[in-house]
Chain A
Amino acid sequence: MTTTTEPQPPILISQGAEALLYLSPYLTPQTASITKYRPPKPYRHPTLDARLTKHRVLLESRLLIRVNGIKGVRAPRVYYVDPAGGKIVMEYIDGCSVRDVLIGVLKAHGGAMPEGEQLSTEVKGLMAKIGRMLGAMHKNEVVHGDLTTSNIMLRDTSKDKGGGELVVIDFGLGSVSTQEEDKAVDLYVLERAFISTHPKAEGLFDEVLKAYAETSKGARIVLKRLDEVRLRGRKKSMVG
């Protein structure tokens, strides 16, 4: 065991509405980790704020642990939780978001998503992988609550055997549910996010759904429900 190198100070890598994310060493100077820290909100009543923070930290860490127990789905491993302090320390995923992967593909093709033959089997394969992963997650009753291409990461391919592995992050709005409706909404949220972030790659989303459908009978029922959810969404946007 060597511990001679000076540990790097924490680096703030993301500042969301609710949480600050730090990259920092954990246990040894060589082990990278992510700390998701929910600081106190000065505009909330302190007692209520403390209760809410604790609730969210417990919810998110329980879901992360649960998801890691599901075959075919990966989330960052949880190393340490301080519910009262608003902290979850978790595995650092060395890679990039699916969002960045798709943007990279588009850039490489002059801004347009290649079609048909041109569409690389790699990108299609990635979409299918996402579909299968969501199928497995939903089958095990985990609903993410905020699916976007930013919240699905791809572990760096150039390294060891975990290369190219998908990892779902950010379970802050997640829940455990057996309801088809909740799962259909989960897919709908991803579909909307997909279309707005990657308008040129809209067609790709079908690859996700195709693979999702193949995961179970339950998944096909969820997809029927997705049609209804889309219809409601359209009506709502016409009214609003």
Chain B
Amino acid sequence: MITITLPPLPGSDRPYPAVHLALYTNVRNAAFLHSQLIAGNKDFDYGFIDASMITSTTHLLTALQRSLQAYVSNTLKTRNVHSEIVFSLSPNNNISKAFTTFGITAASKTLFVFKVVTSPDFTAAKIDSHLKASVEGDEVEINDDAIRGTADMKKILGGYRIQDWRKPDNQKAEVARDDQGALERKVIDAMVLKYVA
């Protein structure tokens, strides 16, 4: 688990809260984690993202920044800052679709887990040990190489409705090193268009 603090936008009077963040592969208890989330179990108040939908670290942080911005400016469109991360990833305003496309499902094999530090109780030590006890999977370091491995190109192209991807390998899951930047730009364009369309 790492803890990050994103730089605020110019002109913001409130800084963003820190965020604890971890990436898991070979997740074996997604169904359990999903059920805790659905049941509204307070102990499982996390942002759970299916890692197959994430293209790069920049893509991940872009969604996080939006949800934090909505949080500090009191313009959340969903229940809380964690659900807002899932919604922020979506290229459209359909909230329930955002959850089935980008959020954890019972079938998730790889996961990003977020905990926004909205209370001093959420110390790194506490969250880290709770995650270690709760998520059955292998925690891996977060970087672009790791994300190319967890990303599913075909699902990303579908989820973001990217039609002009003319590469012959658009039916494959893995993202080639050379394609990561181009895919990231298309995905972020789609996320920006949601605000300006």
Query: What is A's interface to B at a CB cutoff of 8 Å?
Result: 1, 3, 7, 10, 22, 24-29, 35, 37, 39, 58, 61-62, 65, 68, 77-83, 85, 87, 89
Contacts and interface: CB of A to CB of B under 8 A. Distances in A.
A80 B7 CA distance: 14
A36 B40 CA distance: 40
Nearest to B143: A1
Interface string B175-195: 000000000010011001101
B73 to A, nearest CB: 8
Ranked nearest first, the 3 interchain pairs of A and B with the lowest CB-CB distance are A10-B10, A7-B7, A22-B10
B9 A87 contact: yes
B189 A3 contact: no
Nearest to B2: A1
Of B7, B10, B143, B188, most A-chain CB atoms within 10 Å: B10
A61 B57 contact: no
Interface of B: 2, 4-7, 9-11, 57-58, 61-62, 65-66, 69, 73, 141-143, 185, 188-189, 192-193, 195-196
Nearest to B5: A3
B10 A35 contact: yes
B58 A24 contact: no
Given A1-B143, A27-B65, A79 B7 contact: no
A193 to B, nearest CB: 28
A71 to B, nearest CB: 12
A83 B194 CA distance: 11
Contact of B193 (A10, A26, A65, A80): A65
A216 to B, nearest CB: 22
A82 B66 CA distance: 10
Given A24-B9, A87-B11, A79 B192 contact: yes
Nearest to B194: A81
